[in-house]
Amino acid sequence: MYDWLIVGAGFAGSTLAERLASVRNERVLLIDRRPHIGGNAYDRYNDDGLLIHQYGPHIFHTNSQQIFDYLSRFTEWNFYEHRVLAQVDGMLVPIPINLDTINRLYDLTLTSDDLEKWFAARAEPVEEIRTSEDAVVSKVGRELYEKFFRGYTRKQWGLDPSELDKSVTSRVPTRTNQDDRYFGDEFQFMPKHGYTRMFERMVDHPNIHVMTQTDYRDIRDIVPHRRVIFTGPIDEFFDFRFGKLPYRSLGFKHITLDKAWYQPVGVVNFPQTEAYTRITEYKHLTGQEHPKTALTYEYPSAEGDPYYPIPKPENQELFKRYERLALATPNVWFVGRLATYRYYNMDQIVGQALATFRRIGDAVPLPSDQMVVEVIRSKASLAS
Ligand code: FAD
Ligand code: UDP
């Protein structure tokens, strides 16, 4: 009898498996239907020995000391600050849009103060910022929105930015200085030996039994367990009772080139041309030295594995219906990007899993407490 059946061995499932096994000394069966652990953060060495990310580039960044310290138990880190260039009007310019982006694109010599005024002169007043279009045009105006955001967003989501919640494009800031880092977080690192090695260390515990290529559906009625943590798509758990929750998928084309380097930075975005959204060159991210180089092209699609919840009001409404069902389902906890339908980064998922672990502690006493209660109960029944 397992204390927990954990469905999904990504950040959510692996964090909870580790905590429940090592802090509460509980027995965990951790399953994943894929042939590996790590969820979407899974990385592997390709046939040429280059470390690649099977499901697209994953860059770790967080402002949380607690989350960084937690993961640091399972990995050492390489310092890495991510930089992205966008191919716009035939040029490669920094994104997030910054002082150099504008000066290069328009052949200007603005200062930061000038740029603030330059943006202000172009920004469109928006009464209430609701959509991803509002979020950008209200800051930098329509021309830059069209160059950098409209095409990319339509490709990535199959929707116009005016149909998506403001939170999507708000992930990308606008800067008036020369900071060309993609993220501004305090901690920006890559796991020194890759994500998969880090996951292996997280789940390496005598109380954790890992089974890959195992679907929840196939074992839920066979393997005895007391409780479930589900990190897959919440609509699938409930057999799509209220209809399908939309998720956006991606196709990945992984290639290796017989030369040392291909592009100047880890990721180049293509907001105006091409069917793919971006090209990643992993050696920039991993720091690996190798005579060849590995790239991934990302092709967004409606079909395929669910990668992104789609932030739109009606999708949120549908999710809320499933969430109400989830709350009324005893002994099952829903955690992670797909089960809580949140466009969360890795660190946020770890934070969510650690918070869930604390909630479980409030809801379910430690086995030792339970045993004490049971001993007292059985003694009482013997006495009576
Ligand atoms: P997942 O990693 O999706 O894990 C869920 C697991 O559950 C999957 O492995 C799945 O196979 C399994 N599963 C589902 N249903 C079942 C079932 N019925 N039976 C058995 N197993 C099941 N975040 C960052 O912080 N930085 C980045 O740079 C970044 N880049 C990203 C790039 C891409 C292309 C994508 C798609 C995401 C990116 N993310 C990034 C987000 C990151 O991938 C997620 O935050 C994180 O991986 C979510 O972890 P999770 O455990 O919730 O879900
Ligand atoms: N985006 C864009 N152009 C860019 C980069 C981002 O339009 O060059 C928009 C797009 O809608 C994207 C969102 O901003 O989905 C968030 O970008 P991010 O890089 O955070 O996407 P992720 O890495 O999660 O795919």
What distance in angstroms lies between residue 333's CA and the mean position of ligand 1's atoms?
17
Average pLDDT over residues 189-207: 98
DSSP state of 165: B
Q: What is the dihedral of CA 89, 90, 94, 98, to 10 degrees?
A: -30
pLDDT of residue 368: 64
Whole-number Å distance between alpha carbons of 83 and 383: 71
Task: Look at residue 367 and give its three-state secondary structure.
Answer: helix
Ligand showing the shortest atom-to-Cα distance for residue 96: 2
Is the pLDDT score of 363 beyond 90?
Answer: no
The strand pairing partners of 188, in sequence order, are 61
Q: Which atom of ligand 1 is nearest to the CA of 250?
A: 34
Provide mean pLDDT across the span 133-162. Answer: 98
* Mean pLDDT score, 114-121: 98
* C-beta separation of 359 from 252 below 8 A: no
Q: What does the pLDDT average to over 184-190?
A: 98
Q: How far is CA 221 from CA 18, 209, 218, 226, 238, in A?
A: 24, 18, 8, 12, 15
The pair of structure tokens assigned to 223 is 């393997």
Q: Residue 295 forms beta bridges with which residues?
A: 255, 281
Q: Among 152, 175, 267, 298, say which to mutate for ligand 2: greatest number of ligand atoms within 8 Å of CB.
A: 152
What pLDDT score does 379 carry? 43
Report whether pLDDT(370) > 60: no
Site to probe by mutation for ligand 2, drawn from 105, 155, 172 as the one with most ligand atoms within 8 Å of Cβ, is: 172
Q: Which of 127-141, 288-302, 367-381 has the lowest mean pLDDT?
A: 367-381
Cα–Cα distance, 279 to 285 (Å, whole number): 13
For the entire predicted model, the pTM comes to 0.95
Confidence of residue 367 (pLDDT cuts 50, 70, 90): confident
Work out the percent of the chain whose per-residue pLDDT is above 90: 94
**Ligand 2 atom nearest to 345, measured from its CA:** 24
Q: Is the pLDDT of residue 167 over 50?
A: yes
| Rounded Cα gap, residues 201 and 204, in angstroms | 5
Identify which of 22, 52, 61 has the alpha carbon closest to the alpha carbon of residue 297. 52
Residue 362 has pLDDT above 70, yes or no: yes
Mean pLDDT of 191-212: 98
Helix axes 132-140 and 112-122, enclosed angle (nearest 10): 120
Cα of 140 to ligand 2 centre, how many Å? 16
3-class secondary-structure state, position 124? coil
pLDDT over 90 (residue 281): yes
Q: Which two tokens stand for residue 34?
A: 């894929």
Among all chains, which residue has been given the structure tokens 């095409």? Answer: 151
H helix or E strand, kind and range, residue 269: strand 267-269
- pLDDT computed for residue 371 by the predictor: 52
Residue corresponding to tokens 């991606």: 250
Ligand 1 pocket (Cβ < 6 Å) reads 7-13, 31-34, 39-41, 55-59, 215-217, 231-232, 250, 307, 336-338, 344-347, 349
Torsion angle, CA of 16/21/25/26, rounded to 10 degrees?
A: 70
Q: Nearest bound ligand to CA 35?
A: 1
Question: Would you say residue 66 has pLDDT above 90?
Answer: yes
Average confidence score pLDDT of the chain: 95
> What pLDDT is recorded for position 114?
98
Ligand at shortest distance from the CA of 101: 2
Output the pLDDT for position 376: 43
Distance CA 304, CA 133 (A): 27
With bands split at pLDDT 50, 70 and 90, how would you rate the model's confidence at 5?
A: very high
pLDDT of 380: 47
183 lines ligand 2 (CB under 6 A): no
Tell me which ligand sits closest to the C-alpha of residue 55.
1
Q: Which two tokens stand for residue 148?
A: 């950098």
Q: What is the model's pLDDT at position 383?
A: 45
pLDDT value of residue 366: 82
Residue range 57-70: average pLDDT? Answer: 98
